Amino acid sequence: MNYLAKVLDSSAKTLLNGESFILNQIRGKKVKAKGSTRNAPRHTRPKHRGWKVHDGDYVSANKILVMQMNLRFHPGLNVGMGKNGTLFALQEGRVVVTSDQFNPNWDHTWVQRIYAGREDEAIFKKYFNVIPFKQHNRFKLIDEI
């Protein structure tokens, strides 16, 4: 019996002695030390959004002009828009940024919500345009001077 007592751990000894097993086995919670998760994403990577090409610059086809989350800048002549709102050049040429007046459909609920209180004002939007290097030669001469 002596050999058996040496082999068994302290909890088994208490069972053999007839002591209360439950009282000897109560321990504190084993929790590993953890950091706070409340402010976890502290050092997020920058998204590099904004203008990539400025007014008057020359671009090639498929060059990214603007990266944006919301529709701040709109596609104009020879400019395409990706699924995430990125504006890119469809042809090579010179970039021209214009600010044109915008006439929204006031019957639409989104327009009413976004432009509420601006019904009497002129609303302007910024458009990115690409003027191609090679212009077409389809002009018709109407009158000679």
Domain count of the fold of the chain = 2
Model confidence pLDDT, tens digit, residues 65-122: 999 988 899 999 999 999 999 999 999 999 999 999 988 888 988 888 888 888 889 9
Task: HSE, CB side, 13 Å, CA atoms: give it for residue 141.
Answer: 3
Residue 15 clears pLDDT 60, i.e. is over it: no
What is the domain extent for residue 10? 1-26
Task: HSE, CB side, 13 Å, CA atoms: give it for residue 120.
Answer: 1
Asked if 61 contacts 90 with a C-beta cutoff of 8 angstroms, the reply is yes
Output the domain CATH number for residue 120: 2.40.50.100
| Secondary structure of residue 3 in the 3-state scheme | helix
Pair (59, 120) in one structural domain: yes
In a domain, 145, yes or no: no
